[in-house]
Amino acid sequence: MRTIGRIALMRRRVLLVTGACAIVALAGAGVAAATSFVPARQPATASAFAAPAHDNPAATVSGVIEPITGDASTFRYPGADYVKVHFSRLQLKPGDTVKVSDATGDEVHRYSAAQLRDADNWTMSVSGESATVSVERAGDPLGIKSKLAGLGLSVDKIARGQTPAEQAAAERLAAAAPHTESICDSDEKENAACYKSADPVAYANSKPVARILIQGVELCTAWRVGTKNRMMTNAHCFTTTREARNTEVWFNYECAQCGGGPTLRPVKVMADQVLATDDVLDYTLFTVRNFDAIARFGYLQMDDRAPVRGEELYIPQHPRGMPTVITTYDSSERSGNCAVANPAYNGYDVDTDMSYYCDTDGGSSGSPVISRRTNKVIALHHFGGCPNSGVRMDRIAADIRNLV
């Protein structure tokens, strides 16, 4: 029954493009933090051995740091899917509040001067192609819109998503460069919304999976592990609390309908503390601020056992920062279902991984690889290469058992 449902989904596949969906619902609250862009560091190899030919993993850079001159208060970049503002000067009067909003006014973030300084003068991103900055004076609920310099503010740079032309140029460069593939046949990833009725368990298990925006321009995937305030991604995405506090975590970022179109409004919080990390097992366990805002999206559980060859899988993910997609189909398998190809596969060390031909892409790093048998996470995706591979969760669980 599952196979029939997935083949039917495959026949009505749509091409997903980052930023193609319009934003339609109300925003969640969050506390902003970010810093200047520094490329993510690469994990170290634990020991010398004959490893498979992997892509060298790193967080996917899919944004632009844009210098700002002049005294504009609205920053617009047609086709970009987010805009994030940085201030070089904050000389506000007591009681003043900085307001940053999207073009519609549906997503609004407010900050005191102290909150912005605590965030290295960065705001939370607003979704869509423009951000407007204003100041609300104490006792003036309508706010004051005028030249920012006269209000004690100066904007020196923004971080933003790529425009369609920039995305196309980046894809041409990537296609021309030698690399191993993460899409192993035709691209079989589907909008999460396609599974609401066809596979409600897989859809429900995509809700705890988040897009993460690191230092304003880098993208990975993360997911809630267990009932506490705990999230997991790859160590090659970030490893330190300082990096975590420069990382936005977006829940509910998915297309509203199977065929694409508008997205649901993402609920955004900031990452907070790194609790554990390991370069060889390529995981980082961390917390978020304002946990109550995202607790309703549920959580996933770890499958603390060795995987089995042929065991069916699915992967909810944010490839290239796209709204949530799920991979369930693999045309190389006789059943047509995504499955474990090799349960003992070399990652950064011998037999740390398991391999599969489920489609992934840049930005999928940190995604949960979920067993159909148990609907628990059996691996943490981190390598492309066809086969693609994830770190076995039984290896990671031994490290973090007392933390989740």
CB 188 within 8 A of CB 359: yes
What percent of the chain shows pLDDT beyond 90? 58
Distances (CA, A) of 204 to 127, 209, 212, 385: 24, 10, 19, 28
> What does the angle CA 263 – CA 268 – CA 269 come to, to the nearest 5 degrees?
165
Considering only CA atoms, which of 92, 175, 157 is closest in space to residue 120? 157
Helix-strand-coil split of the chain, %, nearest 5: 15, 35, 50
How many angstroms from the chain centroid is the CA of residue 225?
Answer: 15
> So what's the pLDDT on residue 259?
83
> So what's the pLDDT on residue 278?
97
Chain region(s) in the chain for CATH 2.40.10.120: 1-31+175-404
> So what's the pLDDT on residue 59?
74
CB 233 within 8 A of CB 342: no
User: Which band of pLDDT confidence, cut at 50, 70 and 90, is reported for residue 381?
Assistant: very high
User: Which band of pLDDT confidence, cut at 50, 70 and 90, is reported for residue 178?
Assistant: low
> So what's the pLDDT on residue 40?
36
Number of other residues whose CB lies within 10 A of the CB of residue 69: 9
| Dihedral pair phi/psi, residue 259, rounded to 5° | -80, 5
Residue 37 confidence (pLDDT) above 60: no
CATH architecture of 1-31+175-404: Beta Barrel (2.40)
CB 388 within 8 A of CB 381: yes
> So what's the pLDDT on residue 267?
96
User: Which band of pLDDT confidence, cut at 50, 70 and 90, is reported for residue 136?
Assistant: confident
- What is the residue-averaged pLDDT of the chain? 83
> So what's the pLDDT on residue 21?
54
338: burial class by Cβ within 10 Å (0-12, 13-18, 19+)? buried
Helix (H, G, I), strand (E, B) or coil at 323: coil
> So what's the pLDDT on residue 56?
56
Average the pLDDT over each of 3-7, 207-211, 282-286 and give the range with the smallest value.
Answer: 3-7
CB 211 within 8 A of CB 250: yes
